[in-house]
Structure 1
């Protein structure tokens, strides 16, 4: 998956935030009773922005402004995170 293919899609998160992990900085997201995921802070941050309204392009722009990092440096890593979230069924893209 590349940025140009998904830039206008509006990812929608699935599951619910449960808590921060007991150790480390990770976050716990629960999909169902038997599907619970521990995700890195950046993955959680991106997952939380997947509201079905923002496009992938909007998400990259927002992270770019927040982190003060060039848009072009972020688009591929963010698409990779979205792809991993999609594979875990934590978002629909």
Structure 2
């Protein structure tokens, strides 16, 4: 999956946040009774932005502005996070 293929896609998050991990650093997202994932803060942040309204381009731009980092520098890492979230069924693309 590369940016050009998904830039106009509006990903939708699946599952619900049930808690923070014991160390308080990661987030726990429950998809079903037997599918529970612990995700890093950046993955949680990206997952949370997948509301079905924002495109991948808009998500990257928003994170770029908030983090004060050029969008070109974060595009590939954010696409990688989206790919991992999709593989875990935590988002639908």
Normalised by the length of structure 1, the TM-score is 0.98
Unaligned runs of 5+ in 2: none
Question: Which stretches of structure 1, 4 residues or more, deviate above 4 A after TM superposition?
Answer: none
Q: CA RMSD in A?
A: 0.6
Asked whether 1:39 is paired with 2:44, we answer: no
Asked whether 1:82 is paired with 2:82, we answer: yes
Matched with 2:66 is 66
Give the CA deviation at 1:24: 4.5
- Alpha-carbon separation, structure 1, partners of 2:74 and 2:4: 13
Quick check: 76-85 or 16-25, which moved more? 16-25
Matched with 2:30 is 30
Give the CA deviation at 1:23: 1.2
Matched with 2:11 is 11
- Alpha-carbon separation, structure 2, partners of 1:16 and 1:24: 17
Unaligned runs of 5+ in 1: none
